[in-house]
Structure 1
Amino acid sequence: MQETIQILSEADAIVARQRGREIARTLGFSIVDQTRIAISISELARNIILYAGTGEVLITDLVAGYDDIGIEVIAADNGPGISDLNLALVDGYSTSNGLGMGLPGTKRLMDEFSIDTTPGVGTRITIRKWLHSRHF
């Protein structure tokens, strides 16, 4: 299953978060992991709205057998990109007067986290959570 949610407003971020939680529940993730996934999607979608204006969240179930079950979320935009990625991943750093927990917090909540960003071109963040811990 793969679902794409266009992110144009806060309402779309809520839809993306809810769909991610539903897909995680369907895959058998615990309530705690469903919450981690939902929080991560919410953070990424809100960053799209805040920094790029529009973008999309792509949610994919990863199923290749009993031991290979997971969820992948890609948040992509054509916004300004992240000029200093190292700084953006520091706890407490924020360009929007927020708490600065979005990207670092998302990285901690998920099993896999990667960012592809080019200033002036856009950002693509990929996160994954695996049902079984051997994927850490």
Structure 2
Amino acid sequence: MEEVLAAHPDVAECAVIGIADAMKGQVPAGFLVLNAGVSRPEEEIIREAVALVREKIGPVASFKQAFVVERLPKTRSGKILRGTMRKMADGESWSLPATIDDPAILDEIGGALKQAGYPKS
């Protein structure tokens, strides 16, 4: 899914995590960092990204949700902290990874998740 999302012309980088779902176990959610200078509405880009995944992978992927964020949380070596992001979305306890490059990014991710209603109660 990340490869398909990264192919969108307005997406600079992305990450996909599985978020807990009562019916399906987990559903995918994408985090999109847009290219500099993109002035199109975020909702439009998200709709296009979801449609792109459904076109290339199919509806079986159940990809219906994406968030536009300023940046992704990474370790100093550049690995995206998907596990921490998943725990945040699921409302599980998590600890600040010692290797994180910029801890403030997790607040940004938490804000995007909270705005979308995560973690679910």
TM-score, normalization by structure 1: 0.29
Name whichever structure is richer in strand by fraction. Answer: 1
Name whichever structure is richer in helix by fraction. Answer: 1
TM-score, normalization by structure 2: 0.31
